[in-house]
Structure 1
Amino acid sequence: MILGLLILSNRTIYQLRSRIDKGLNIMYSSSTGSIQAAIKKLLNNGYIDYRDIQDNGKKKKEYYITDAGRQEFNTWINSPIDSAGIKCPELSKIYFMGFSKQKKRFENTQEYITELKNKYDSLKMICDESELFMHSNNYDNLDKEAKDIIFFQLATARFGRDLMSFAIKWYEQFLIEMRKSDE
């Protein structure tokens, strides 16, 4: 994920985190700790490097991809899609929810539905804006490679949006079923 984002543009850790938070966090954790761990590993492998920059009087590290990083990214992106499947760690909470207090079951599930709706709204906005852009003159003037990049990024956002839509419906139905089972 980090290599791909750095191919698009050089970024600070803050910029990486902000970009991941804008729709990519369904694929990758946007926690500073996760990003810093990935950055450290990529630096140690020589896949990225950094330069010190000044931003509003503050010294920051701006990371960029190296030739070795581009080669590693190209190897990864051209390999088959991993068939490990989608993992939903939040389902472990559902699996063991019978041990929780009844009131907390409803509260936590409703809170999670709210989070899902917020993610859905963000992804829907990205999809809507991207689809508008794809029907504009600016898009028509792009070369084939740029159009391909946009196409696949939009496909990923649509997958996330549709996944959030499914999850919202599933958890809302689950909430109804929980209420019925408590009657």
Structure 2
Amino acid sequence: MEFVILGLLLLRDLTQYEIKSILERKVSPFYSASLGSIQAALKKLESGGHADRQEVVQGGRRKLVYAISDEGKRHFLDWMKADVPP
């Protein structure tokens, strides 16, 4: 889950609800992600230094927006370049 989210954050900064929406529209026939599993993955990425969180207010509502960090970009690209285990 973490690498899927990092891949999405490479494209643009997203809220957890935007991540869930994208996964439902694009990946749901193959994989179902609950909001809880997305929150857990984001927490893990943030604590590992792979993602950053910023609080913003849009339309009077507080939102947490996640962005990939430089370390997260390196981590994702290293994973993409790694050999696939047998």
Which of residues 21, 32, 35 in structure 2 aligns to 1:32? 35
Provide the residue aligned with 1:43 in structure 2.
46
Provide the residue aligned with 1:67 in structure 2.
70
Provide the residue aligned with 2:25 in structure 1.
22
How high is the sequence identity, in percent, across the aligned residues?
37
Equivalent-residue separation in structure 1 for 2:58 and 2:85 (angstroms): 39
Flag the structure with higher strand content: 2
RMSD: 1.3
Query: Secondary structure at 1:81's aligned position in 2?
Result: coil
Query: Secondary structure at 2:37's aligned position in 1?
Result: helix
Q: Deviations over 1:98-136 (max 9, x none)?
A: xxxxxxxxxxxxxxxxxxxxxxxxxxxxxxxxxxxxxxx
Equivalent-residue separation in structure 1 for 2:9 and 2:17 (angstroms): 13
| TM-score normalised by the chain length of structure 2 | 0.87
Equivalent-residue separation in structure 2 for 1:80 and 1:18 (angstroms): 30
* Runs (4+) off by over 6 Å: none
Flag the structure with higher helix content: 1
| TM-score normalised by the chain length of structure 1 | 0.43
Q: How many residues align?
A: 82
Equivalent-residue separation in structure 1 for 2:8 and 2:22 (angstroms): 8
The gaps in structure 2 that reach 5 residues or longer are: none
The gaps in structure 1 that reach 5 residues or longer are: 84-183
Mapping 1:143-158, distance limit 5 Å: none
